[in-house]
Structure 1
Amino acid sequence: MGPLHESRKALIGVCDFDGVLRGKLVLSDDVSAGDRIIKFSEAVLAWDCSDRVIQANSAQELPSVFGDADLRVLSATARAVPTCHDRFLYLAEFAGAHESICPRGVLRKVLRRAADHGYSCTAGFEFEFTLFNESAETIHKKPYDQWVPLTRGPFGYSVARTLASNELFDEILAFCDDARLPLSGLHFETGPGAIEASLRHCDALEAADRAVLLKSIVKSWAQTRGMMATFMAKVSENWPGQSGHIHISMSSNGQNAFYDGKASRNISGTMNQFVGGQLKYMNDFCVLAAPNVNSYKRLLPGFWAPTCPSWGVDNRSCAVRVIPGNESAHRLEYRLSGADINPYLALAGAIGSGILGVEENAVLATPIAGDASEERHAAYEPLPQNLAEATSRFAQSQEAIDVFGDRFVEAFSRSRRWEWDAVQHRVSDCERERYFEVI
């Protein structure tokens, strides 16, 4: 028998709570013939990142017995896979009984709420990631401090390194173009082996699709080159953290709803309310933008990451940075989120809190002009200090239940409590180094 026709080979990928694409190779003649429902294991909504089943108590609901669930294959999302030239990757989302806890479904729910008020949303993600000159085999055979990054030491925005890595950058640009993931920028960030890729802005749901695909494709591409890529929020306590900033704007009747040419800094009343809502509910929704134990090791003073729900005009020390410009460019940058986010959920949190602000006519405090981490005690409550605190706030938030649904809040909170518990009993190298001899 000869090789299968190209149209019969397709990868189907659906996003789990951790933002990881889970899927399988599907052999079908009509995979691209419009959105269709297939069966797929519901276990991926009950697994942690190491494929362990998240346990529930008797009062909590799990997917039944890990049978098959309805999965909607989204034909318009088809992308070329750079490491497999004879097939396409299709994104999918859970449908039916599981739609209310599907990350993509949660974002769609938030965007419908914005649409009910006459707003459409656009977004663009920026991701920092680190490349290591290590294979999937060698990285597990070496202690962390012996892993070799692509470059040594910090050299952010380095033209010299960009020119020296011209072939590598060309490959990234090429596979992003082939996969319909257009970039607006690509450069070295400060930190060993650190690179930032900025996706062009577009419709918010499409922007999140692109973000999910970029992370998976970068990681798979790196392995084909004998490298490893990581999107951890904090790879080392000695290096800067890795962000996943989100640029957001809203429009109404074809006009930028954040822009008012007659207002100070062009900040419209709607934008005031939107940012006011983001700040008001940032601590309650924080776990959507900082979903892992490691996430909170990035949110420290002096590392270009927020420490409180603050805002400023073109101020990168704040959690929300308003970027003034003409009507086509005026927007905000949501800087709380790290590179380890689930893009659907982080964007849902950023937009959902903003829409609450519009609904409630939220009041925006005076912008911070200096370092927000130094001024946080003047007007703002600190961000949650760890995953357990952030999860507790989310689980108890009536506003979270209102925006995202009670079933999702319960399921996602359960997954984050499990994530917190999974690492609390682990003894780290740092603890051994600090206490072994002295204590």
Structure 2
Amino acid sequence: MTDSRVSCANSAGAAMIGVSDFDGILRGKHVLRENLSGGDKVIKFSEAVLAWDCSDRVIPVHFTQKPLSAFGDADLRILSSTGRSVSYVGDHYLYLAEFMGAHETVCPRGILRRVLRRAAHHGYDCTAGFEFEFMLFKENADTIEDKPFDEWAPFTRGPFGYSIARSLAHQDLFGEILSLCEKSRIPLSGLHFETGPGVIEASLHHCDALEAADRAIMFKSMIKAWAQTRGMMATFMAKVSEKWPGQSGHIHISVSSDGQNAFYDGDASRNVSKLMTQFIAGQLKYMNDFCVLAVPNVNSYKRLVPGCWAPICPSWGVDNRSCAVRVIPGGPSAHRLEYRLPGADVNPYLALASSIGAGMLGIETNAALPASTVGDAGAEICLPSGRLPQSLSEATYRFAQSPAAIDVFGERFVEAFSCSRRWEWEAVQHRVTDFERRRYFEII
């Protein structure tokens, strides 16, 4: 951290600390910034945030010996190196944190660190960069409660992907996003309108894998807060409407050894090294078992349908966007893969952990890579590789029963996260929707 950043971070005033829950929501509070100087700090923080669902209802997880109604405090490490300004105006600082001690085994950031340690044990460093699509609505928290969904007004009408005209027309908005990201040390390598009403895609610049996930989780919270200051709402839902494409959360990944891109082999076909074939083979082999970490909500599975630029089966291809894993050939500095399974609703720590964890299993077992897909990976000919899980319930069952998941992520986390996803599934299943009323009320 530069001297100017240290000075800024240690100046008088308040700062926020945030820690990820299972859903990738930053939970935290304001503290005095002066108490955060001089390196990482350990404070007490409620363990309840690891037992809340997204609506603050208690999930019956089993990481504590206390009754579910009597959650205590846990040790929380505040990470001084993560502090950065997170607002377009003013100087509001946010520091990330992670659970320690007994809670580290169920902390999402701790799970990613566990996977990265496994890679480091074999001499590999991982680099990653997230891409997020999010949708803006000209609504606020009150109007979305007062109006039915079909009356919500998206920021732009209709699809117009990569539109220069729209980008120029809304250059003030794009300028604010770019300024916000620059100020917060979350550099973007791309920003553009995507297909779909009010949809914008932001490509976060690649960096060390743990830092990439830190940037990703901060970015999502910043964009939501920034949109509200403009009188709008931003959503990272995987599928906002069946009428529109889903919103992705693709991850670009490369692996290096001794400072060299281990995925790159200049003498191999399309520069794909033997290590890269093993890594992708592991991703495909364990994609169904680990799916719930990258596709974590009931709504997430409504994105994984044919014809919507989202994978429906474990598949890979060279520069093929219909596949779950897309190889992007290039020179040593650019050769990488794109993991296209996750939607924008992911917890960045867990989605990245699932992708790298499966890849490391492929390397460790010298997994064989099946033939690449040429053409549409959603076509019927590709389905012998196995459809991806069709629901959160199916994906959760596979994860909970997977010896590979326990090996990579630990038994305690697999149990706790599986419990949280079963809870999420049941919470939605008991709801009667407007669609059901329209479909069945008079006829059935």
The normalised TM-score by structure 2 is 0.96
AA matched with 2:143:
T
Hey, what's the Cα distance between the residues in 1 that align with 2:293 and 2:241? 22
1:263 aligns with 2:268: yes
5 Å-filtered alignment, 1:217-232, equals 217-232=222-237
Q: Does 1:372 align with 2:377?
A: yes
Give the superposition deviation at 1:6: 4.4
Does the C-alpha gap of structure 1 residues 401 and 130 become closer, same or farther in structure 2, counting only changes over 3 Å?
A: same
2:54 aligns with: 49
Aligned amino acid, residue 403 of structure 1: V
Give the residue type in structure 1 aligned to 2:142: E
Q: 2:173 aligns with which of 150, 168, 191?
A: 168
Supply the distance in 2 between the matched residues of 1:369 and 1:190 (Cα, whole angstroms): 24
Secondary structure of 1:30's aligned partner? helix
Q: Distance in 1 between matches of 2:310 and 2:383?
A: 18
Q: Distance in 1 between matches of 2:78 and 2:169?
A: 41
Shift of 1:32: 2.7
Distance 2:126 2:292 in 1: 22
**Cα displacement (A) at 1:377:** 4.5
1:32 corresponds to 2:37 = yes
Q: What letter corresponds to residue 220 of structure 2 in structure 1?
A: K
Residue 297 of structure 2, aligned match among 279, 292, 295: 292
For residue 279 of structure 2, what is the aligned residue in structure 1?
Answer: 274
Q: Which residue of 1 aligns with 2:113?
A: 108
Q: State whether structure 2 residue 208 is matched by structure 1 residue 213.
A: no
Letter in 1 for 2:20: C
1:177, distance to aligned residue in structure 2 (A): 0.4
State whether residues 81 and 179 of structure 1, in contact with CA within 8 Å, keep that contact through their aligned partners in structure 2: yes
| Structure 1 Cα separation of the partners of residues 175 and 416 of structure 2 | 41
CA distance in 2, matches of 1:412, 1:83: 34
Is 1:253 matched with 2:258?
Answer: yes
Mapped pair 1:420 → 2:425 = yes
Partner of 2:3: none
Confirm or deny that 1:343 pairs with 2:348.
yes
User: Residues 98-118 of structure 1: CA distance to partner in whole angstroms, max 9, x if unpaired?
Assistant: 001000000000000000000
- The aligned amino acid for 1:371 is D
Aligned partner (choices 117, 126, 129) of residue 134 of structure 2: 129
Tell me the SS of whatever aligns to 1:105: helix
Q: Give the aligned partner of residue 435 of structure 1.
A: 440
| Deviation by residue 1:70-100 (Cα, 9 ceiling, x = unmatched) | 0000000001021562331000000111001
Taking the aligned partners of 1:114 and 1:377, their CA distance within structure 2 comes to 30
User: Residues 239 and 247 of structure 2 are in contact (CA less than 8 Å); yes or no, is this contact kept in structure 1?
Assistant: yes
> For each residue in 1:179-215, what CA deviation from the matched residue of structure 2 results, as whole angstroms up to 9, or x when unmatched?
1110000000000000000000000000000000000
Counterpart AA for 1:286 = C
Q: Please state whether the residue corresponding to 2:90 is helix, strand or coil.
A: strand
| In 2, Cα distance between equivalents of 1:432 and 1:105 | 43
2:241 matches 1:236: yes
Matched-pair identity in %: 72
Contact 1:307 / 1:376 at 8 angstroms: preserved in 2? no
Q: Residue 338 of structure 1 aligns to which amino acid in structure 2? A: G
Contact 2:11 2:34 in 1 (8 A): no
Which residue number in structure 1 is paired with residue 412 of structure 2?
407
Cα deviation digits, residues 345-371 of structure 1 (max 9, x gap): 000000000000000000000100010
Greater shift after overlay, 137-146 or 80-89? 80-89
* Cα shift at 1:235: 0.2
* Root-mean-square deviation over aligned CA pairs: 1.2
SS in 2 for 1:216: helix
* Distance in structure 2 (CA, Å) of the matches to 1:63 and 1:248: 38
The residue number in structure 1 matching 2:143 is: 138
Moved segments of 4+, more than 2 Å: 5-8, 60-65, 375-379
Indicate the residue corresponding to 1:179 in structure 2.
184
Indicate the SS of the match to 2:239. coil
* Whole-angstrom distance in 2 between the partners of 1:176 and 1:158: 21
Structure-1 separation of matches of 2:221 and 2:388: 29
Q: Report the residue type matching 2:440 in the other structure.
A: Y
Can you give the 5+ residue segments of structure 1 that lack an aligned partner in the other structure? none
User: Does 1:77 find its partner at 2:82?
Assistant: yes
Residues 133 and 202, structure 2, Cα contact 8 Å, conserved in 1: yes
- In structure 1, give the amino acid aligned to 2:346: I
Q: Displacement, 1:379? A: 3.5
Instruction: State the Cα distance separating 1:8 from its structure 2 match.
Output: 3.8
CA contact (8 A) 1:6 1:86 kept: no
**Structure 1 residue 415, shift from structure 2 partner:** 0.3
Give the residue type in structure 1 aligned to 2:401.
Q
Matched, 1:155 2:164: no
Give distance in 2, aligned partners of 1:403 and 1:201: 24
Q: Are the structure 2 counterparts of residues 143 and 378 from structure 1 closer, same or farther at C-alpha, using a change threshold of 3 Å?
A: closer
Tell me the residue number matched to 1:13: 18
Amino acid at match of 1:420: W
SS where residue 92 of structure 2 aligns? Answer: strand
Tell me if 1:308 matches 2:308.
no
Deviation at 1:404, TM superposition (A): 0.4
Contact 1:83–1:220 under 8 Å retained in 2: no
| Match in the other structure for 1:357 | 362
Q: Aligned letter for 1:285?
A: F
- Over 3 Å counting, the alpha-carbon distance change for 1:22 and 1:211 in structure 2 is same
Distance 2:397 2:12 in 1: 47
Q: Which amino acid in structure 2 is aligned with residue 252 of structure 1?
A: S
Contact 1:305 1:319 survives alignment (8 Å): yes
- Name the residue aligned to 2:4: none
Inter-partner Cα distance in structure 2 for 1:436 and 1:168 = 44
Give distance in 2, aligned partners of 1:316 and 1:114. Answer: 27
Residue 186 of structure 2 aligns to a residue whose secondary structure is coil
What code does the residue aligned with 2:53 have? D
| Cα separation, 1, equivalents of 2:262 and 2:63 | 40
